[in-house]
Each structure stands twice: as C-alpha cells, then as structure tokens.
Amino acid sequence: MIKARVTVTLKNGVLDPQGKAIEGALGSLGFSGVGSVRQGKVFDIELDDADKAKAKADIEAMCEKLLANTVIEDYSVEMM
C-alpha cells in the first residue's frame, strides 16, 4: 500500500477571512508576534497501488479534478 498526503492551501493573493479570524484569536490568547495565518486542508490518502510513480500521477489527477479548486487553491503532494 502507498500513502500520500495532499496539502491544499489558498493561492497567494486570495483573501483568507478564516485565517484572519484565527490570527485574531491567537492574538487574544496572548500569542504576540503572529504575523499572519493562512489556513488550508490536509488529505491523507491510502492507495492499493504498488507503483509509486503511477500513484503520484493518480493523486495529482485527484487534486486537479476534486481535492483542490484550482481557481483559488494550490496543492502539494507528499508521498509517504
């Protein structure tokens, strides 16, 4: 079995009101010096595949087709 971790983040320049709210909450907890927070999503995926290169290509296709909205989000794939 092959495991992969996909991280989806908002593109630079796309406003992230949720990140801003988290940033504010960290400040009110007393964490000073938080420059900025951007939030995103993590997907841990297990594949039956044995071929790592094919698995990576499949995961990237999954990102393009569903896991990320490439209008506003970037993704990165880490094969575990």
Partner 1 sequence: MKTAVVLLPGLNRDRDMIAAIEKVSGQPPLTVWQTDTEIPPVDLIVVPGGFSYGDYLRCGAIAARMPVMRAVAYHAARGVRVLGVCNGFQILLEAGLLPGALMRNASLKFVCREVKLEVANAQTVFTNRYTEGQIIRCPVAHHDGNYFADPEVLARLEDNRQVVFRYAEGTNPNGSINDIAGIVNEAGNVLGIMPHPENLIEDAHGGSDGRALFESVLEIAA
Which residue lies nearer to partner 1 by CB, 12 or 32?
Answer: 12
Q: How far is the CB of 16 from partner 1 (least distance, A)?
A: 9
Largest alpha-carbon pair distance within the chain? Answer: 48
18, 31, 33, 34, 49 from 57: Cα distances, Å = 31, 41, 40, 37, 11
Tokens of 23: 């940033």
**Residues within the interface to partner 1 (CB under 8 A):** 14-15, 17-18, 21, 65-67, 69, 71-72
Cβ distance to partner 1 smaller for residue 18 or 76? 18
Residue 23 CB, nearest distance to partner 1 (Å)? 12
